[in-house]
C-alpha cells in the first residue's frame, strides 16, 4: 500500500508542486501572509475562530488554565464538559443557565480581532467566518449574519427538550436572570439552540463548508485549540495549494508526522492534513504565536490597514455604551 502511495506521490509531485509554487509563502509568518495578500490573488478568505478571540472582551476560553473548564467550583460541574451535555442539562440546567447569564449577548464588546474580521469583509475579502463561539460578537461589529456560520449555535433561537419552539423574548429574560425556563406546552426545560456534545451541527455549517472551501484562497484560524470536531477538521478542507495561517497562544492542529502524512503532503493527494509548520515540506502554513489582538494588528500594519482597523475599533458603539453604563452605575 505504501509503495503504491509512493508511486502516486511521485506522479502527482510535478503537478501539485506547480500549483503550490504559484501560491507558496516566502516566509511562514505574518510577513509571508501579508505578501501573499499583497500579490492580489486573495479574494475568498475563510476565517475560523474559537474562544480565544473573545478573551480580551472579558469572556474566558474553555481549556486554558483560567478557562471555564477550570472553574468547576463556580459552575458546580461533575466534570468540565457536563455543562454542554444533554443528560446533565436535563438533571441540572442551572449550570448552563449561569453560563447563559454570563455570556448573553449585550454584556461584552467585540475585540480588535472581531473588528479585523469585519475589516476583511469591508475590503471585500471575506468569504465566511466559521465560529465556535456562542457570544455573537462577530455580528456585533456590524458584520452581516450571512457572513457568519455559528457552528455551535447561539442564543438567536431556542427549543424545549421535546423540540417545541420557545418564545425568544422569554428565553432572553430567563437567560439574563440565569433561571432555567420550562416549556409552556410540555413543561420540559428550554435550551437555547447551542450545540451540545453529541448533537448535530446546524445544516448550514456543512452546506457553507462544502461551497466555501472550493473557493477559499486563504484560511486564517484564530484563538482555538482545534480539539472539537467536526469544526477542527475544517483546517483540512482548503485545496492543497491554499495558504493557512494560525494565530494563537499555542500551537495546535498540527499533522502527525508519519510517513503516510508526509507522502500526502508531498503529493498533494486529497485535501489534507493538519498544519505543517516546521517540516522541510512546508510551503503554505504560517504561524503567529501570541495574543490574537496583537497578531491581527501586526498583520494590518504590514498591509497598511492599521488606520482602518483602529477606526473600526474607535467607533465601537457597544463599547461606548458599556463604558457609559459602568460610569452611571
Ligand atoms: P478552547 O478554550 O479549547 O481554546 C482556546 C484557544 O485559544 C487555546 O488554544 C488558547 O491558547 C487560545 N487563546 C486564549 N486566549 C487567547 C488570546 N488572547 N490570543 C490568542 N489565543 C488565545 O476554546 P475553543 O477551541 O473555542 O463547545 O473550544 C471549542 C469548543 O469547546 C467550544 O465551542 C465549546 C467547547 O466545548 C461548545 O460551546 C459546544
Q: Residue 183 is part of a domain; what is its CATH number?
A: 3.30.1600.10
Residue 19 lies in a domain: no
Residue 31 lies in a domain: yes
Domain CATH code at residue 288: 3.40.50.1220
**Final residue before a domain boundary, out of 163, 194, 225:** 194
Same domain, 76 and 215: no
| Helix residue ranges, H only, 39-111 | 72-75, 86-91, 94-103
Q: Is 63 in the pocket of ligand 1 (CB under 6 A)?
A: yes
User: CA–CA distance from 213 to each of 43, 217, 219, 309, 317 (Å)?
Assistant: 12, 8, 9, 26, 33
Q: Is 56 in the pocket of ligand 1 (CB under 6 A)?
A: yes
Which residues are catalytically annotated?
A: 152
Q: Is 118 in the pocket of ligand 1 (CB under 6 A)?
A: no
Distance (Å) from CA 16 to ligand 1 centroid = 33
Same domain, 129 and 216: yes
Dihedral sign computed on CA atoms, order 278, 129, 298, 227: negative
Q: pLDDT tens, position by position, for the chain (329 residues)?
A: 556 555 554 455 455 555 556 678 999 999 999 999 999 989 999 999 999 999 999 999 999 998 988 888 888 889 989 999 999 999 999 999 999 998 898 899 999 999 999 999 999 999 999 999 999 999 999 999 999 999 999 999 999 999 999 999 999 999 999 999 999 999 999 999 999 998 999 999 999 999 999 999 999 999 999 999 999 999 999 998 999 999 999 999 998 766 666 666 565 554 578 999 977 889 999 999 999 999 999 999 999 999 999 999 998 887 777 777 766 65
Same domain, 299 and 212: yes
Same domain, 54 and 64: no
Same domain, 97 and 159: yes
Grid cell at residue 180? 432555567
Same domain, 119 and 181: no
Same domain, 145 and 52: yes
Residue 20 lies in a domain: no
Q: Phi, psi (5° rounding) for residue 128?
A: -165, 150
**Final residue before a domain boundary, out of 172, 194, 216:** 194
Same domain, 179 and 241: no
Interhelix angle 94-103/168-177, nearest 10 degrees: 100
Residue 290 lies in a domain: yes
Same domain, 237 and 267: yes
Same domain, 117 and 188: no
| Ligand 1 atom with least separation from CA of 81 | 36
| Helix residue ranges, H only, the chain | 2-23, 30-38, 72-75, 86-91, 94-103, 112-122, 168-177, 203-215, 259-267, 292-303, 306-314, 317-328
Q: Is 152 in the pocket of ligand 1 (CB under 6 A)?
A: yes
Distance (Å) from CA 54 to ligand 1 centroid = 9
Gap between the Cα atoms of 209 and 234, Å rounded: 8
Q: Which domain holds residue 70?
A: 60-107+155-194
Same domain, 92 and 143: no
Provide DSSP, 167-179: -HHHHHHHHHHT-
User: Which 3 state secondary structure label does DSSP give 320?
Assistant: helix
Residue 251 lies in a domain: yes
Residue 235 lies in a domain: yes
For the chain, what is the domain count?
A: 2
**Final residue before a domain boundary, out of 130, 163, 194:** 194
Same domain, 160 and 54: no
Amino acid at each position: 500500500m505504501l509503495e503504491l502511495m509512493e508511486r502516486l506521490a511521485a506522479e502527482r509531485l510535478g503537478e501539485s508542486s506547480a500549483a503550490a509554487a504559484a501560491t507558496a509563502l516566502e516566509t511562514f509568518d505574518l510577513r509571508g501572509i501579508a505578501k501573499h495578500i499583497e500579490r492580489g490573488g486573495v479574494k475568498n478568505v475563510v476565517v475560523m475562530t474559537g474562544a480565544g478571540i473573545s478573551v480580551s472582551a472579558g469572556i474566558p476560553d474553555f481549556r486554558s488554565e483560567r478557562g471555564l473548564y477550570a472553574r468547576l467550583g463556580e459552575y458546580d460541574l461533575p466534570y468540565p464538559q457536563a455543562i454542554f451535555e444533554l443528560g446533565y442539562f436535563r438533571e441540572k440546567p442551572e449550570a448552563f443557565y449561569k453560563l447563559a447569564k454570563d455570556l448573553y449577548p449585550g454584556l461584552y464588546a467585540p475585540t480588535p480581532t472581531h473588528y479585523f474580521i469585519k475589516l476583511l469583509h469591508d475590503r471585500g475579502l471575506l468569504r465566511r467566518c466559521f465560529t465556535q463561539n456562542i457570544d455573537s460578537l462577530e455580528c456585533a461589529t456590524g458584520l452581516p449574519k450571512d457572513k457568519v456560520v455559528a457552528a455551535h449555535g447561539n442564543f438567536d433561537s431556542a427549543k424545549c427538550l421535546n423540540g417545541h419552539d420557545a418564545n425568544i423574548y422569554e428565553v432572553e429574560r430567563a437567560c439574563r436572570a440565569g433561571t432555567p425556563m420550562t416549556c409552556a406546552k410540555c413543561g420540559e426545560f428550554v435550551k437555547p439552540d447551542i450545540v451540545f456534545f453529541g448533537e448535530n451541527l446546524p445544516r448550514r455549517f456543512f452546506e457553507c463548508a462544502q461551497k466555501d472551501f472550493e473557493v477559499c484562497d486563504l484560511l486564517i484560524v484564530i484563538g482555538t485549540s482545534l480539539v472539537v470536531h467536526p469544526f477542527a477538521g475544517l483546517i483540512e478542507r482548503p485545496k492543497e495549494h491554499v495558504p493557512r495561517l494560525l494565530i494563537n497562544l499555542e500551537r495546535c492542529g498540527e499533522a502527525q508526522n508519519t510517513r503516510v502524512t508526509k507522502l500526502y503532503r508531498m503529493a498533494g493527494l486529497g485535501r489534507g492534513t493538519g498544519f505543517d509548520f516546521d517540516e522541510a515540506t512546508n510551503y503554505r502554513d504560517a504561524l503567529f504565536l501570541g495574543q490574537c489582538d496583537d497578531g491581527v494588528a501586526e498583520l494590518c500594519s504590514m498591509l497598511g490597514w492599521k488606520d482602518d482597523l483602529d477606526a473600526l475599533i474607535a467607533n465601537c458603539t457597544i463599547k461606548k455604551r458599556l463604558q457609559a453604563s459602568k460610569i452611571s452605575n
